Structures are given as C-alpha cells and as structure tokens.
Amino acid sequence: MILRLLVAAALLFATAAQPPRPATDEARAKELLAQLAGTWDTQTTFMSFPPSKGTETVELLPHGLSAVVTSKGPMGPGRSFEGHGLIGYDPQQNKWLHAWVDNTDSHFSVSEGTWSADGKVFTIQEEVDLGAGPTLMLMQTTITGADGLSFRMAPKDAPADAKPMISTTYTRHAAAR
C-alpha cells in the first residue's frame, strides 16, 4: 500500500512539474495560414515600373494546413500578371513549403519557408533569375494587422533600407471584412 502511494505521489509530482504543452505544430500552422486567407486588394511596385493595383485570393484547403494562392493584376504598359501558388505546412516533413508559377517566367519555383516566432513574418530564401543571372533573394510576407499584409523581395545581401525589387501592400478586400 505504501509503495502504491509513493508511486502515485511520484507520478503526480512529475505531472505537476511539467509545463503545459504548447499547441501542436499542425494547430499553429492552421492559425498562421488562417491569417492569410481571404481576398486582398494589392498595390505592387516592380523595379522601375509605376505601382499597379490587383487582387490576390488565398483559399484554405479543408484540412487547413495548405492554401491555394491566385494573384492577378496589370504589369507595365499593356501587360498583365497572373501567378498561382501553394503554401502549406507538411507535418510529415515538419516543414513549411511554398510553390509558385506565373506568366512572367516558365520556372516552377518550389522552396521552403519559415515563420518568425511571433507568427508575423513568413520568409523564403530562393535563387531567382530576373534576367541578370541567378541571385539569392529574400522574400518576406509580413502581417501588418488584421486586414493588412506586406510583401518584399530583395537580394539577400542588400541593406535592410535598400529599395526592394518587388514590394506589395495588401488590404483585405472590403467585401471580406
């Protein structure tokens, strides 16, 4: 009887000494992706072109761990831009993955990404060739508020205050609010 009480007390003490378990990676991934879901009005500046307005939709798949992205808008005089992507968390690999293709290049981009600890910045590093040879780029999507995002793409080694090659501001579409 005393042995049982000692074992029970030891188990109770061990359980009480452990901190509460954090949310699972899958649960956190669903929270992070949910912030991106919706229809967004965009304003993009690409290199020396004047800013252009467009839209982007981010639709979560039913399991909540992946989203389909469609981006459309004008791109310079007489041209339009259309891009499609997937972003998601793969629990088997324990990784964030991102795939992208658009009408400006035949390259099918697949990369890994990371979220900042506070869940506000999603970052991808990828080699990109915009016509002057491959350059390692840093692409960051930042959550600026409940109805706002920003995107920035610049060479990885560029100073933090350097003008990005591409920058986009996102405002959640009024109908989605």
Q: With a cut of 80, say whether residue 144 has pLDDT above it.
A: yes
AA letter at 143: I
Considering the four listed CATH numbers 2.40.128.20, 3.90.1720.10, 3.40.50.720, 3.40.50.300, the one that applies to the domain covering 21-176 is 2.40.128.20
The pLDDT assigned to 36 comes to 94
Rounded distance between C-alpha atoms, residue 108 and residue 149, angstroms: 24
Q: What is the mean pLDDT of the chain?
A: 83
Q: What is the pTM of this model?
A: 0.79
pLDDT in tens, 83-137: 999 999 999 999 999 999 998 888 889 999 999 999 999 999 988 877 778 889 9
Mean predicted confidence (pLDDT) in 33-40: 94
Residue 83's CB: how many other CB atoms inside 10 A?
A: 18
